[in-house]
Amino acid sequence: MIKSGKVIKVGISDLNIAKSPHVIRTSGLGSCVGIVIYDLKKQTSGLAHIMLPDSTVTRQNKINTFKYADTAIPILIEKVLQTGARRAALQAKIAGGARMFQFNSGSDVMKIGARNIEAVKTYLQNANIPIIASDVGGNQGRTIEFDPSTGKLGIRTVYKAEKYI
C-alpha cells in the first residue's frame, strides 16, 4: 500500500496522527472500527481503532479513552486540528465493524460490530464531520492504511483483493 514516507502504526484501542508523506495503518479490525479523520488540502490525518461504542457502561475507574467511540472521536478531532487541519474541512472514512462470531441469542448486546458502526456514525454526525466512504459490516477482519496526500483508504480483507475507498 505505501508509496513513500513511513508507516505510522495504530494498535487496538489506540490512535495516532499522520501527515504526508507518511501513511497511517491499523490491523485487526474485526468488530472494531477504524475511524480516519482528515483534511485533504492540509494533507493531515488521524486514525482511531475503537473496540467498543460507549464508555459509560464500563465499571472501571480508570479507562483507556481510545477504546471507546464516544471518548476517542473527540480526542481524535482535537489532535487532527492541532496538526493544522481546518475544522470545516474535516472529513471521515470508516472501516470495520464485522460480525466475527455468530450467536444464537437475538440480543443486540452481542452485536458489537453493528453497535460500533452506529456509535461512530452518530458521533461523527454530531461533530458535523461527513463520512465520505465506508467499508463496514460483513464477517471478516480488515487491515486499513490511509494516505493523507491522496485521501485514499486502502483496505485488505482476507480472501479478497485489496481495494481503495
pLDDT tens digit string along 16-74? Answer: 999 999 999 999 999 999 999 999 999 999 999 999 999 988 777 889 999 999 999 99
Domain boundaries, the chain: 7-164
Q: What is the pLDDT of residue 58?
A: 78
- Greater confidence (22 vs 5) lies with 22
Percent of the chain predicted with pLDDT > 70: 92
Q: What is the pLDDT of residues 113-130, one digit of tens each?
A: 999 999 999 999 999 999
Q: Is 0.85 topped by the overall pTM?
A: yes
Give the strand pairing for 23-29 and 7-10: parallel
Q: Which three cell numbers stand for residue 65?
A: 479513552
Query: Could you tell me how far CA 77 lies from the centroid of its own chain?
Result: 12
User: Does the structure show a pLDDT above 60 at 5?
Assistant: yes
Q: Helix axis angle, 112-126 relative to 69-82, nearest 10°?
A: 40
- Residues involved in catalysis: 32
Residues 6+ apart with CB under 8 A from 124: 35, 73, 92, 94, 130, 131
Q: What is the pLDDT of residue 4?
A: 67
Q: What is the pLDDT of residues 79-113, one digit of tens each?
A: 999 999 999 999 999 999 998 766 555 555 568 99
Task: Indicate the burial class of 126 (C-beta count within 10 angstroms; 0-12, 13-18, 19 or more).
Answer: exposed
Residue 30 carries which DSSP code? S
Amino acid sitting at position 129: I
Task: Indicate the burial class of 63 (C-beta count within 10 angstroms; 0-12, 13-18, 19 or more).
Answer: middle
Q: What is the domain class of 7-164 according to CATH?
A: alpha beta
Number of neighbours of residue 3 by Cβ within 10 angstroms: 9
